């Protein structure tokens, strides 16, 4: 089993890349690994099958929306705020599920989301300019990376 900090950082980076990616991964994980401490907290709803279904649906919508030309950059204030809050929720829930302080998980998640948002935005822009690969193609590869690596780490 991976250290909880590694999970929270990974989910934070995923949320920085895809705001609904973290909640979809965490909610699925929490439904498969129930925790009494999470169920007793105000974050317990994230570990329900309904939340897992809704967050997956929203994540699919985000994957599609990310490829549209009118979608704002993830580092614009509004989208960045959503990514940070999404990651804070995930970090808090993961920490609560492990009987740890949710506020600490939230803060770790926030830091990782900012890192993920700016780091992968810069990488995506640089790759696009250097390779001339269309942005939606790079975005699709980014989706695979975010969800693939995210699940591998969260599920362990």
pLDDT score recorded for residue 1: 54
pLDDT score recorded for residue 69: 85
Q: Write down the domain spans for the chain.
A: 4-155
pLDDT score recorded for residue 62: 92
pLDDT score recorded for residue 112: 98
Q: How many helices (H) and strands (E) does the chain have?
A: 7, 0
How far is 40 from 102, CA to CA, in rounded Å? 13
Is 15 in contact with 21 (CB distance < 8 Å)? Answer: yes
* CA 9 vs CA 60, 109, 132, 155: distances in Å: 22, 6, 31, 14
* CA 30 vs CA 96, 114, 155: distances in Å: 11, 24, 10
pLDDT score recorded for residue 67: 84
How big is the CA angle at 117 (ends 1 and 147), to the nearest 5 degrees?
45
How far is 33 from 85, CA to CA, in rounded Å? 23
Low-confidence ranges of the chain (pLDDT < 70): 1
pLDDT score recorded for residue 60: 94
pTM: 0.93
Is 95 in contact with 4 (CB distance < 8 Å)? Answer: yes
pLDDT score recorded for residue 103: 97
Task: Quick: pLDDT tens for 116-141.
Answer: 999 999 999 999 999 989 988 999 99
Cα 33–chain centre separation: 18
* CA 64 vs CA 60, 68, 71, 80: distances in Å: 6, 7, 10, 18
């Amino acid at each position: 089993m991976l250290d909880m900090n590694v999970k929270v950082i990974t989910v934070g980076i995923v949320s920085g890349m895809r705001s609904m990616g973290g909640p979809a991964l965490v909610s699925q994980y929490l439904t498969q690994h129930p925790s009494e401490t999470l169920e007793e907290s105000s974050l317990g709803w994230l570990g329900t099958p309904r939340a897992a279904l809704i967050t997956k649906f929203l994540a699919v919508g985000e994957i599609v929306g990310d490829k549209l030309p009118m979608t704002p950059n993830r580092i614009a204030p509004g989208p960045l705020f959503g990514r940070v809050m999404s990651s804070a929720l995930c970090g808090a829930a993961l920490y609560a599920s492990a009987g740890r302080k949710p506020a600490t998980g939230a803060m770790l998640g926030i830091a990782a989301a900012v890192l993920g948002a700016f780091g992968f935005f810069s990488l995506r822009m640089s790759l696009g300019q250097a390779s001339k690969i269309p942005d939606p193609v790079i975005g699709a590869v980014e989706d695979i990376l975010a969800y693939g690596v995210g699940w591998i780490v969260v599920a362990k």
